Structure 1
């Protein structure tokens, strides 16, 4: 639902004659900066005929993050061109842990938690593809391919070590395994490399072989740090099926302007699970993207045609303070992740918080609720209670700290941002069952009394 009486908080829907669709897919991905390496240039021709394409993710957390969206967006582009997208979650390989891009070993995870994560990540990947396909219609895309989620535990559970080594071991060269960058880096580190992580590349190679042989999947997508694992797969396929044609493509790793890698282990993850990172907070994060990266983010994360991105960038450069490019980025990507209308609601909340926009209590309840920002408290636990206690509950701050805020006059209440009349919550502070609180200039809390 998009709210705001008569207000327009999102880009008007317009339909395009998209010149990008006439460009061969691999070339189009390169023009957007979405590809860095391919295992064979024959993939350019192969990508013009519908096939099956897979992208793997390990269930090491309950949510994907913004850094994961670069390869997932590449999978979306294949899907929109009629290919079958196969989002793979490593229910089996997640037990081992991928050393790529890491200097330390991952901590072990309980099976029940891993299984929950598998389900959540599958749902996130599938939702992103399906929502992306809906948004793509306004850019001239018509009928996408299909989505076939897979969990590699479904085939690894039936493979024995002796059976695997006797059948496939002779086709795997240890010299190649030792020569791969992820292995060499870990061997140099103080942490070293366990046998479990050393063999991870074999497991991923077999995944590609299994999908190629049994599902006719011919292309694998991965980040730059997956190059060794991907080429291990194409090597294994070429040894076992000499006339086979399997390809790998890698995408750039998303980094901050300072060059720091995005991710949960780096501590700067922006999660696509709306419970972990609220749609509003994702929108605000994207709106605050530095000018130096916003054009590349528009190319990487959105389906906006390149000629229009050039127009947006030109307009942005004429008045950077308006953040036109950042607002368009935030609008497009928030909708792609959380569904159409999410960005408009985030914009509406932004207008209420920071632009003094007028709104009814009902509109605020809907807007804040849609963004996961609405708190619910029993009325008898609020009315008549000391403000410092209510604020401590909402903010997580200490009562002494919130008490100082109240005494210093830094707390406002109501749609018109009135100063507090007393140190206790009064019935007159409540409007239509809604308690709206602002602390300073940037903190806002909406409380529905139940």
Structure 2
């Protein structure tokens, strides 16, 4: 077995553990079964789940057996939010989300070999339990004075809205998951984000009190940017969805490619599966040749491949190059081109107009006179061909896939025109 804990520490992925020496010994003694869970709070997972998904993959690559839990029951209840009550979704909606998320998590682990992964749904063992059985057999092990110490619960108790019993009982449900997985699969390690630490350790304690067994827990830190802001959050509250239906592979790629120099080394350690030596070379390159953006390119390509597959990544990379004059636009498939141009300034027009009007409509230039000046100076391109006559009008034959024109000012400023 590889020393996975040392690797996780180097990558900055260990925030808490119950007994690291005991965990290290358990990991070294042979194949260990572990689990990590994801609640279906939407039809897709997002950037906040990526740390746990890649950590699950790391443990499996080190020789351990993953259980990936999708919370069909916990998703019906909702982990307490510190500042507002959770919206409860209809059971049939949650069930649909469970199936979609099962497909997403399956991309990150292998289902072959001696340590093959298993995807489980906690509704399978919670649904048959009656309320009386729940209170007598599970609830008796929990102390309310400890439960209210959880940060989110404490915040809600001190607020005007308070907290209902439904959300308050969430940590018992999650602890019950660990107990059931321990009994069914001999699972002895649960990990998750540090904001879940109270729920995770509740499971450790439940197993000790009910079965007398010692199991392990670990938490990864919540990611922040170099400026201290929450990872993945922009001024507009951007969510980086893993589903291509909610965020195109092109937009996903661009999000990671636009990572700041101050953050990229840390993100590579967390998310990349390249060796320590390779990543240290990239860190050095970021300092010495920041304009090359080598680290950002690797981060974007590796994560897009992991989430969307190699074929989609190849399309995205080709589209990114072609948009800036380093490839053939006509070879980009319609869906990728559409997604790429929607990430740029773009305008939708009822009909084609002169090049001056087109450049002004996309706001690549400040005015029509500025557009004319850009064309006269040789800095205007449409579909990667230099525009020489500002008053000429493109024809329908110039439209890519019968719909789009790609406008470019200079080397770096790109926009799109589409016909309504």
TM-score normalised by the chain length of structure 2: 0.83
Equivalent residue number for residue 72 of structure 1: 53
Deviations 1:155-187 (A, max 9, x none): 111011111111222211112112222322222
Q: Secondary structure at the match of 2:218?
A: strand
Deviations 1:365-393 (A, max 9, x none): 3xx54577389xxxxxxxxxx972269xx
CA–CA distance in 2 between the matches of 1:320 and 1:216?
48
CA–CA distance in 2 between the matches of 1:218 and 1:341?
37
Q: Secondary structure at the match of 1:249?
A: strand
Relative contact order, CA 8 A, sep 6+: which one is greater?
1
Q: Secondary structure at the match of 2:195?
A: helix
Equivalent residue number for residue 172 of structure 1: 142
Equivalent residue number for residue 109 of structure 2: 129
Equivalent residue number for residue 388 of structure 1: 349
Q: CA separation of 1:53/1:390 partners in 2, compared to 1, >3 Å: closer, same or farther?
A: farther
Alignment length, in residue pairs? 393
Deviations 1:271-328 (A, max 9, x none): 1112212111122111111111111101100111112111111122111122121111
1:331 lines up with 2:301 in the alignment: yes
Equivalent residue number for residue 375 of structure 2: none
Q: Secondary structure at the match of 1:127?
A: coil
Contact 2:251 2:340 in 1 (8 A): no
CA–CA distance in 2 between the matches of 1:430 and 1:261?
41
CA–CA distance in 2 between the matches of 1:232 and 1:350?
47
> What pairs up with 1:237-386 in 2 under 5 angstroms?
237-242=207-212, 244-262=213-231, 267-354=237-324, 356-359=325-328, 361=330, 363-365=331-333, 369=335, 373=339
Equivalent residue number for residue 96 of structure 2: 116
Q: Secondary structure at the match of 2:240?
A: coil
**Which of these residues, 428, 437, 443, is aligned with residue 397 of structure 2?**
428
1:89 lines up with 2:70 in the alignment: yes
Q: Secondary structure at the match of 1:444?
A: strand
Gap regions ≥5 residues in structure 1 = 1-20, 134-142, 376-385, 392-398
Q: CA separation of 1:388/1:434 partners in 2, compared to 1, >3 Å: closer, same or farther?
A: closer
1:438 lines up with 2:407 in the alignment: yes
CA–CA distance in 1 between the matches of 2:230 and 2:292?
28
The root-mean-square deviation of aligned C-alpha atoms, in Å, is 3.3
Contact 2:322 2:328 in 1 (8 A): yes
Equivalent residue number for residue 37 of structure 1: 16
**Which of these residues, 221, 224, 235, is aligned with residue 191 of structure 2?**
221
**Which of these residues, 117, 121, 146, is aligned with residue 147 of structure 1?**
117
CA–CA distance in 2 between the matches of 1:320 and 1:272?
28
Contact 1:89 1:152 in 2 (8 A): yes
Gap regions ≥5 residues in structure 2 = 342-346, 353-357, 373-379
TM-score normalised by the chain length of structure 1: 0.78
Equivalent residue number for residue 41 of structure 2: 60
Larger CA deviation: 292-301 vs 102-111: 102-111
Q: CA deviation at 1:269?
A: 1.3
Equivalent residue number for residue 210 of structure 1: 180
